[in-house]
Amino acid sequence: MRIEIIPCLQDNYSYLIIDDTNNFACVIDPSESEPIINFLENKNIKLKYILNTHHHYDHIGGNQELKKKYGSVVVGFKGDSKRIPGIDILLKDNQIWKAENFEAKIMHIPGHTSGHICYHFFKEKIVFTGDTLFSLGCGRIFEGTYKEMFESLKIIKSLPEETKIYCGHEYTLNNSKFCIKYDPENQSLKKKIENLKKKIVAGLPTIPSTIKEELDCNIFLRTQDLETFSKLRDLKDNF
């Protein structure tokens, strides 16, 4: 499996997972259809599945058009069946979704929205975290509680350390400023900031990160108690 990062809208990332053995692909969170279509054009790749992490417009905006154009099947969380456009396959917490050679464990991780899920492609050691875990940050709490978000991050934290993280937005640089402000002596964080600045200067995505890097550097994962986590989340909202 090969991952292609497709920048969308202002700072969103959609991702294509391409199976080189048969040229079948899944797209994760198509914010809009055009960049996906542009990428697929003149390539012999069949967009079989559209996987959504949550219902926000910047994650589902391309669903209908891609579905119409390629006959793709839309996959999302059961609890969001009313608000994910074109949904065909309803997923449950902890289920394994398997289709063609694609296989992912679904984890319900509420907090940002009540129906947010992540897709853990365990064979490839890759997780798509949408707007729940970002590199050096976490999503805003729109529909859930601090506790739900804290618990959801714990679930992601428990994945193998070498797991690669593909998240919904390029927020890493801004997030890093917050982390270093409240964690100024963190040497791993300093190193990560140096690296990500180089990527940004070169016009490259700072994604993927890894569970290990986030455990070492992301203040929202380093926080051990709910109270501190909640305080940090509030501070970040006004940062």
Q: Is 131 near Fe ion (CB under 5 A)?
A: yes
Residues 158-187 that bind Fe ion (CB under 5 A): 168
Which is nearer to Zn ion, 18 or 28 (by Cβ)? 28
The side-by-side arrangement of strands in the sheet containing 87-91 is 2-8, 12-19, 24-28, 46-51, 73-77, 87-91
Task: Spot the catalytic one: 55, 56, 108, 116.
Answer: 56
Question: Which of the following is catalytic: 55, 80, 108, 112?
Answer: 112
Ramachandran quadrant class, 173 (left: phi over 0; alpha: psi -120 to 50; beta: rest): alpha
Considering only CA atoms, which of 167, 205, 212, 133 is closest in space to residue 28? Answer: 167
Token readout for 206 is: 């700072």
56 contacts Zn ion (rule: CB under 5 A): yes
- Specify whether 108 is catalytic: no
Q: For the residues of 192-209, what is the DSSP string, one character each? A: HHHHHHHHHHTT-----E
Q: Is 59 considered catalytic here?
A: yes
Q: Which of 29, 54, 108, 120 is catalytic?
A: 54
Classify residue 204 by burial, with Cβ atoms within 10 Å: 0-12, 13-18, 19+. Answer: exposed
Q: Which is nearer to Zn ion, 129 or 209 (CB)?
A: 129
User: Smallest distance, Å, CB 50 to Zn ion?
Assistant: 16
User: Per-residue x/- marks for Zn ion, 116-135, CB under 5 A?
Assistant: ---------------x----
- Closer by beta carbon to Fe ion, 142 or else 146: 142
Active site residue 120: no
Shortest gap between Cβ of 139 and Zn ion (angstroms)? 6
Token pair of 68 as six digits: 């119409």
Alpha-carbon distance of 203 to 70, in angstroms, equals 30
Residue tagged active-site, from 59, 108, 116, 120: 59
- Choice between 138 and 193, CB closer to Fe ion: 138
| Beta bridge mates, 99 | 102
- Alpha helices in 57-140, H assignment, sequence order: 57-60, 63-70
* 58 touches Fe ion by CB under 5 A: yes
Residues 6+ apart with CB under 8 A from 219: 136, 178, 179, 182, 183, 232
Q: Residue 48's closest CA among 21, 30, 66?
A: 66
Q: Which does 170 bind (CB under 5 to 8 A by kind): Zn ion, Fe ion, none?
A: none
Least Å distance, CB 215 to Fe ion, is: 23
Shortest Cβ distance from residue 60 to Fe ion (Å)? Answer: 10
The set of catalytic residues is 54, 56, 58-59, 112, 131, 169
Residues that bind Fe ion (CB under 5 A): 58, 131, 168
Residues that bind Zn ion (CB under 5 A): 56, 131
